[in-house]
Chains A and B, each alone.
Chain A
Amino acid sequence: MNENGKSYIFDNPRNVKALIYALYVLCATLLVLDFFVHRHVEHPWESWFGFYGIYGFVCCTFLVLAATAMRKVVQRKEDYYDD
């Protein structure tokens, strides 16, 4: 409930949880499908089990952690160029 007495979908933590669980189920399904679907591949790496899923997960995690580390080096105050 908010100030207008109107409640929005993600104000309820259960809805957020449901969304996250839906994502888990979806990811698990997609991974399992790798057993059944014969993927057409151009390159041997592609044929590894779960290649795309694992690669996507690892890349994104690396991306965020590396960018966070990079922020320590490159971030300045907003008026950095103004002096």
Chain B
Amino acid sequence: MTSVAPFLIFFVGGALAAVTTGRLRQAVLLGTPVLGAVNLYHLPEGTSGFLELFDYTLVLVRVDNLSLVFGYVFHLAALLGAIYALHVRDGVQHVAGTLYAGSSIGALFSGDLLTLFVFWELTAITSVFLILARRTDRAQATAIRYLAIQVLSGLLLLAGILIWTSHTGSITFDYIGIDAPGGWLILLAFGIKSAFPLLHNWLTDAYPEATPTGTIFLSAFTTKLAVYTLARGYPGTEILVYIGATMTMFPIFYAVIENDLRRVLSYSLINQVGFMVTGIGIGTELAINGAAAHAFVHIIYKALLFMSMGAVLDRVGKIDGSELGGLYKSMPITAVFCIIGAASISAFPLFSGFIAKSMVLAAAIEEGYPIVWLFLLFASAGVFHHSGIKIPYFAFFAHDSGIRVKEARPNMLVAMFLAAFLCIFIGVYPWPLYRILPFPVDYHPYTVSHVLVQCQLLFFSALAFVFLQLTKLYPPELPGINIDSEWIYRRFLPHAARYLLDQAHILGVRLERGIRQGLAAWMGRVFHLHGPQGVLARTWQTGSTVLMVVLLFAVVLVFSYI
């Protein structure tokens, strides 16, 4: 069977979705990722799809152990997203979602940096419509910020590529490292998309503002594409260990106090990507396998969690923890799916997180990062706390908000069922996943020790939650926003600019006044000397003039004798 470049199928699918409606469009939307997956399965390993551009050869498709595992899960995410969004009538979202998936897959399989750059920017341009499609003023403002930051990441990437290529003469995308020319710029570009600390706020700003269905696509692709590029270009870069550990830590504090439950999940997404970044930084086979396996299972359970919250938003119209509660009564199936997603992200035994996350932790301790390991363990407990308990608890349980709605739409339930099934299947039977990881796997998740310690960690964390609830120490869900690094560009810089403009204006006014006063004073002085009554304008008597001339001669005479 002949195969084509994987992104092409999605681009054609997106174009077809734009010109079709109704059932036909639904068939296109579902058919695209399925056809894509079949094509991917038959795609030969190695490089293909060459294009000549000036002196360079672009490589559109590179299939190897690293890109393939991400490729499979990207197709899976595209299918889950398509099923979940099937009821949506807004064509823009369908076209954007399909093209966004295609762009991400194009970037993933690109064998050279220029192709990567083109798809890198395309992911930004296509995905922004998933935010704009919410059609609120807030979403529009968010979308512009999102696009600006994403495009900036692309520009940094381009600058880095130009420096790198001018030094090495090659555009092949392989190991780069931070010591390479342009290496820091490219790392920064990857870092923006993988939500490095302080560069992360676009994510928690934008994802909760997208449409209920759009967030499913957003949560899957951009950050995991960035994780893949880090694994490709910067494996074993030690600074990533610390960056990743920071990423696992700080978002969990925000997640505890955040009220918008989809924003809680966005913070939790950064925490999860932190584990992957740490794994890439450690860089051993176990750690890279761990990062890839974690990315794979994470995409599925994070999509499941976002789907359950999207279903709540779709039915209730609100997603703030302070306004929800008791929804298990009217959305019991969604509640069960949400709990399965929560158990998976928390890494309970028999759920998918358990067989993946622990690989990075094991690698951290093996490679002599005990402090980092403690951080990751803290973050694991924290994940359970906010994603595992807080999300299902405040949406579906807690105090009954009195809201009674219909169960989620059938297509949403189907998508959630598939994701939930995969979460459990991979958790129980991880070997198919282990087989497609970049390196041979010599790791056994189900040892007595591992199951016991994980249960101890999680159930005692649950105990802490109960303890804090019973003693009323647990902070109530409150409406409000929490300032984060976006404060710099949403508040500080605009205010600083306004202040500087105001100061410049005041200075201008003062300067003008000063010049006017100075001129007036000078004119007054001129008038004083030369005006009708001025000393220099007076007519002199002949005698005094003669005296002046004589004096002048005397001076000349004296000087000529000296």
Q: List residues of chain A with CB under 8 Å of any chain B CB.
A: 2, 8, 10-11, 20, 23-24, 26-27, 30-31, 33-34, 37, 39-43, 45-46, 50-61, 63-68, 70-71, 74-78, 80-81
Please tell me if the beta carbons of A26 and B468 are within 8 angstroms of each other in the complex: no
Question: Would you call the interface of chain B mostly helix, strand, loop, or mixed?
Answer: helix
**Set of chain A residues within 8 Å of B463, measured between Cβ atoms:** 23-24, 27, 57
**Set of chain A residues within 8 Å of B468, measured between Cβ atoms:** 60-61, 64
Q: Which one of A56, A71, A78 contacts B257 once the chains associate, using CB atoms below 8 Å?
A: A71
Please tell me if the beta carbons of B362 and A76 are within 8 angstroms of each other in the complex: no
Please tell me if the beta carbons of B455 and A80 are within 8 angstroms of each other in the complex: no
Q: List residues of chain B with CB under 8 Å of any chain A CB.
A: 252-254, 256-257, 328-329, 362, 365-366, 370, 373-374, 377-378, 381-382, 384-385, 397, 400, 447-449, 452-468, 473-475, 478-484, 490-491
Please tell me if the beta carbons of B478 and A75 are within 8 angstroms of each other in the complex: yes
Please tell me if the beta carbons of A59 and B378 are within 8 angstroms of each other in the complex: yes
Please tell me if the beta carbons of B481 and A57 are within 8 angstroms of each other in the complex: no
**Nearest CB of chain A from residue B323's CB, rounded to whole Å:** 12
**Nearest CB of chain B from residue A23's CB, rounded to whole Å:** 6
Q: How many A-B residue pairs have CB under 8 A?
A: 151
**Set of chain B residues within 8 Å of A61, measured between Cβ atoms:** 464, 467-468
**Set of chain B residues within 8 Å of A27, measured between Cβ atoms:** 459-460, 463
In addition to A37-B449, A74-B257, 19 A-B residue pairs with Cβ atoms within 8 Å of each other are A11-B400, A27-B459, A30-B459, A31-B456, A39-B452, A41-B449, A52-B377, A53-B456, A56-B458, A59-B381, A60-B461, A64-B385, A67-B252, A67-B256, A68-B475, A74-B483, A77-B480, A77-B481, A80-B491
**Set of chain A residues within 8 Å of B370, measured between Cβ atoms:** 43, 45
Please tell me if the beta carbons of A67 and B448 are within 8 angstroms of each other in the complex: no
Please tell me if the beta carbons of A64 and B473 are within 8 angstroms of each other in the complex: yes
Please tell me if the beta carbons of A52 and B479 are within 8 angstroms of each other in the complex: no
**Set of chain B residues within 8 Å of A40, measured between Cβ atoms:** 447, 449
Please tell me if the beta carbons of B478 and A46 are within 8 angstroms of each other in the complex: no
Please tell me if the beta carbons of A78 and B481 are within 8 angstroms of each other in the complex: yes
Instruction: Take A52-B456, A71-B257 as given contacts and tell me if A76 and B385 are in contact as well, using a CB distance cutoff of 8 Å.
Output: no
Please tell me if the beta carbons of B452 and A71 are within 8 angstroms of each other in the complex: no
In the assembly, what is the distance between CA of A10 and CA of B61, in Å?
A: 54
**Set of chain A residues within 8 Å of B491, measured between Cβ atoms:** 80-81
Closest B residue, CB atoms, query A55? B377
Please tell me if the beta carbons of B460 and A56 are within 8 angstroms of each other in the complex: yes
In the assembly, what is the distance between CA of A8 and CA of B400, in Å?
A: 11
Instruction: Take A8-B328, A61-B468, A63-B385 as given contacts and tell me if A52 and B447 are in contact as well, using a CB distance cutoff of 8 Å.
Output: no
Q: Which one of B384, B459, B474 contacts A64 once the chains associate, using CB atoms below 8 Å?
A: B474
Please tell me if the beta carbons of A43 and B385 are within 8 angstroms of each other in the complex: no
**Set of chain A residues within 8 Å of B479, measured between Cβ atoms:** 78
In the assembly, what is the distance between CA of A41 and CA of B448, in Å?
A: 12
**Nearest CB of chain A from residue B222's CB, rounded to whole Å:** 23
Please tell me if the beta carbons of A10 and B456 are within 8 angstroms of each other in the complex: no
**Set of chain A residues within 8 Å of B460, measured between Cβ atoms:** 27, 30, 52-54, 56-57, 60
Closest A residue, CB atoms, query B447? A40
Q: Which one of B253, B455, B459, B478 contacts A63 once the chains associate, using CB atoms below 8 Å?
A: B253
**Nearest CB of chain B from residue A51's CB, rounded to whole Å:** 8
Instruction: Take A57-B464, A63-B252, A63-B385 as given contacts and tell me if A71 and B481 are in contact as well, using a CB distance cutoff of 8 Å.
Output: no
In the assembly, what is the distance between CA of A4 and CA of B275, in Å?
A: 46
A-B CB contact pairs (8 Å), 19 listed = A8-B329, A37-B448, A37-B449, A39-B449, A39-B452, A43-B370, A43-B373, A45-B370, A55-B377, A56-B457, A56-B460, A60-B381, A60-B464, A61-B464, A63-B252, A64-B474, A68-B257, A71-B257, A81-B481
